């Protein structure tokens, strides 16, 4: 009987970190059935991979694509990077569980991330119902889903800015158990985002203990990535250690020039904890700019009560003065727990209903308006009802390389939107949306020689799969799922830039998801073969 797919003449990098070797790969249905130096059997489809690397499909260890799958199930801007699996439900955000009657609260909460052009349908209540709806749209990628701590708090507590009572905690534990029974891998926090920011450490430890018997993971956008960096990493480690769960520190970084020297101490904290047996690791994206909601530049207390209350505060002159007094540094920089002393010329509008502002910095917009940058920031949030996304340059490019190279850290894009098709598109999204994984391969492995190509592939395949205890993904091995990325190591490159982000990468010729050729000769064929994975 003929194989369904035979990949011949390629250089196999199998995801373990082992050296590349010549090998053919045979696929039958959705499984890899043979890997050998030469396979001579017949196949329905044969791909000649001469001059190309055959690798496992890449696993994005930190993504926000779940907010966009229903609008863009093809996930083309991610698949064409070689990504076949995404880990989502990050930074406390997830669309379930949902308490009936609180749909608008959830839409406002996620508004700055999804932007003004995406409407969250939210036609479910439980996490199980949500995952069923996700399966029904037949995405192109496999999905490993976490439940967001913010979603748990909104469902149980309406997002109120207060400590959880005993009854609140029991409700969140019940919702977390339901989500994990449905297929969630654990829960995530975004401790700079309301309402997750209102939780104390004991609440998070209690939730971790509740999911420990199920083997759940704690993934955390920590409480502060600038002046609070070291204390915040210690908090994440404590939650994992006392809660009895594995910890992932999301998008490891030091934000704000004055905090850049802290990165070595931050990495040592991870190393020290690992040495004493704490199961802690992290992920990183290969850029010195991040992207989030513009309203995250407001202090945490201003978000109490949700977006509607934030807008009321932004309309009040006395409250605006308080915000400026708290956040403005030396009259020219803005500081919050997540953005440490960032200049207004380093904050750029990524998505906004006023398209003419996209790609401009807050400093540029302020000069055009004749107002102070702080006033411009708050006016824009008020005018756009907080549905504005931003890109901010707050990191050291030298630190990015240092963190990328760390042996305990893997690759996660932290990308927000998804796109499909060709041609001009609105917005100036972060280029990681299109370029994270080819950038690691091209810029950091080939050009900078930061690590061997085999290490780069391991950091976004086998290492990630082992972290999540995938039994049959992340490696090119007989019996494993047929998720493959086939790329030219001489030409693979991210083409997306901050000025011109809507560009697909080059050098990634074929991507196979569960045995189906989804990227074929560099062209997308959305066949809907992705799956919702469960632990």
Here the CATH number for the domain that contains residue 484 is 2.30.40.10
- What is the rounded distance in angstroms from the CA atom of residue 123 to the CA atom of residue 214? 28
- In terms of domains, do 125 and 206 share one? yes
434 lies in which domain range?
59-288+395-467
* pLDDT of 117 higher than 70: no
* pLDDT of 531 higher than 80: yes
Residue 434 domain-assigned? yes
Residue finishing a domain among 344, 369, 390: 390
Here the CATH number for the domain that contains residue 445 is 3.20.20.140
* pLDDT of 114 higher than 70: no
Residue finishing a domain among 326, 358, 390: 390
- In terms of domains, do 512 and 422 share one? no
- In terms of domains, do 121 and 199 share one? yes
**pLDDT at 111 (0 to 100):** 66
- In terms of domains, do 209 and 269 share one? yes
- In terms of domains, do 270 and 410 share one? yes
Residue 535 domain-assigned? no
Q: Is 364 exposed, middle or buried (0-12, 13-18, 19+ CB in 10 A)?
A: middle
Global pTM reads 0.96
Average pLDDT over the chain, rounded to an integer: 94
Is there a contact between 110 and 303 (Cβ–Cβ < 8 Å)?
no
Q: Which residue is it, tokens 């995404």?
A: 86
- In terms of domains, do 280 and 408 share one? yes
Give me the mean pLDDT over the 477-487 stretch: 98
- In terms of domains, do 268 and 408 share one? yes
- In terms of domains, do 280 and 377 share one? no
Residue 498 domain-assigned? no
Residue finishing a domain among 338, 360, 390: 390
Question: pLDDT for 252-275, tens place per residue?
Answer: 999 989 999 999 999 999 999 999
* pLDDT of 337 higher than 60: no
Residue 378 domain-assigned? yes
Residue 534 domain-assigned? no
Q: What angle do CA 73, 196, 294 make, to 5 degrees?
A: 65
- In terms of domains, do 135 and 263 share one? yes
Helix (H, G, I), strand (E, B) or coil at 45: coil
Q: Which residue is it, tokens 């708290």?
A: 326
**pLDDT at 120 (0 to 100):** 79
- What is the rounded distance in angstroms from the CA atom of residue 511 to the CA atom of residue 171? 42
Domain count, the chain: 3
- In terms of domains, do 104 and 192 share one? yes
Tokens of 363: 């400093």
- In terms of domains, do 90 and 238 share one? yes
Give me the mean pLDDT over the 110-131 stretch: 80
**pLDDT at 338 (0 to 100):** 58
- What is the rounded distance in angstroms from the CA atom of residue 78 to the CA atom of residue 124? 26
CA nearest to 267, candidates 145, 405, 168? 405
- In terms of domains, do 199 and 301 share one? no
- What is the rounded distance in angstroms from the CA atom of residue 454 to the CA atom of residue 12? 10
Question: pLDDT for 445-457, tens place per residue?
Answer: 999 999 999 999 9
- What is the rounded distance in angstroms from the CA atom of residue 47 to the CA atom of residue 24? 10
The model's confidence at residue 112, banded by pLDDT at 50, 70 and 90, is low
Q: What percent of the chain has pLDDT over 90?
A: 87
**pLDDT at 20 (0 to 100):** 98
- What is the rounded distance in angstroms from the CA atom of residue 227 to the CA atom of residue 335? 10
Residue 21 domain-assigned? yes
Residue 488 domain-assigned? yes
Question: pLDDT for 8-38, tens place per residue?
Answer: 999 999 999 999 999 999 999 999 999 999 9
CA nearest to 151, candidates 187, 120, 205? 187
């Amino acid at each position: 009987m003929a194989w369904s797919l035979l990949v011949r003449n390629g250089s196999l990098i199998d995801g373990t970190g082992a050296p590349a070797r010549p090998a053919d790969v045979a696929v039958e249905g959705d499984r890899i059935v043979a890997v050998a130096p030469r396979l001579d059997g017949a196949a329905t489809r044969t791909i000649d991979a001469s001059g190309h690397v055959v690798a496992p499909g890449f696993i994005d260890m930190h993504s926000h694509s779940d907010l966009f799958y229903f609008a863009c199930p093809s996930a083309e801007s991610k698949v064409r990077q070689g990504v076949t699996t995404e880990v989502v439900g990050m930074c406390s955000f997830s669309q379930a569980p949902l308490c009936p009657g609180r749909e608008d609260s959830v839409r406002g909460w996620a508004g700055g991330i999804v932007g003004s052009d995406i409407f969250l349908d939210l036609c479910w209540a439980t996490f199980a119902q949500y995952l069923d709806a996700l399966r029904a749209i037949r995405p192109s990628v496999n999905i490993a889903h976490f439940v967001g701590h913010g979603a748990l708090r909104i469902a149980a507590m309406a997002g109120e800015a207060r400590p959880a009572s005993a009854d609140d905690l029991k409700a969140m534990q019940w919702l977390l158990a339901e989500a994990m029974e449905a297929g969630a891998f654990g829960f995530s926090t975004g401790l700079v985002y309301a309402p997750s920011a209102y939780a104390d450490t004991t609440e998070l430890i209690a939730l971790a203990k509740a999911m420990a018997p199920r083997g759940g993971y704690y993934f955390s956008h920590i409480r502060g990535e600038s002046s609070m960096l070291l204390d915040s990493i210690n908090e994440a480690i404590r939650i994992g250690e006392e809660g009895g769960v594995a910890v992932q520190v999301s998008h490891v970084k030091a934000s704000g020039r004055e905090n850049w020297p802290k990165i070595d101490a931050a990495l040592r904290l991870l190393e020290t904890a690992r040495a004493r047996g704490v199961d802690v690791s992290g992920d990183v994206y290969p850029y010195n700019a991040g992207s989030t909601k513009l309203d995250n530049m407001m202090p945490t207390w201003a978000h109490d009560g949700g977006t509607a209350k934030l807008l009321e505060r932004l309309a009040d002159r006395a409250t605006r003065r308080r915000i400026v007094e708290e956040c403005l540094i030396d009259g020219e920089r803005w500081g919050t727990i997540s953005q440490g002393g960032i200049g207004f010329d380093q904050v750029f509008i990524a998505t906004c209903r006023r398209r003419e502002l996209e790609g401009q910095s807050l400093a540029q917009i302020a000069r055009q308006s004749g107002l102070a940058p702080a006033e411009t920031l708050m006016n824009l949030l008020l005018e756009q009802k907080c549905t504005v996304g931003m890109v901010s340059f707050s990191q050291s490019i030298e630190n990015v390389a240092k963190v990328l190279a760390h042996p305990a850290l893997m690759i996660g894009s932290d990308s927000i939107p998804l796109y499909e098709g060709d041609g001009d598109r609105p917005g100036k999204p972060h280029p990681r949306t299109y370029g994270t994984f080819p950038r690691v391969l091209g810029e950091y492995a080939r050009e900078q020689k930061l690590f061997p190509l085999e290490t780069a592939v391991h950091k976004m395949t086998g290492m990630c799969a082992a972290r999540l205890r995938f039994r049959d993904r992340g490696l090119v091995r007989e019996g494993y799922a047929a998720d493959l990325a086939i790329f030219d190591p001489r030409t693979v490159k991210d083409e997306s830039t901050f000025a011109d982000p809507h560009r697909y990468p080059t050098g990634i010729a074929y991507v196979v998801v569960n045995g189906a050729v989804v990227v074929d000769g560099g062209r997308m064929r959305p066949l809907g073969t992705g799956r919702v994975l469960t632990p």
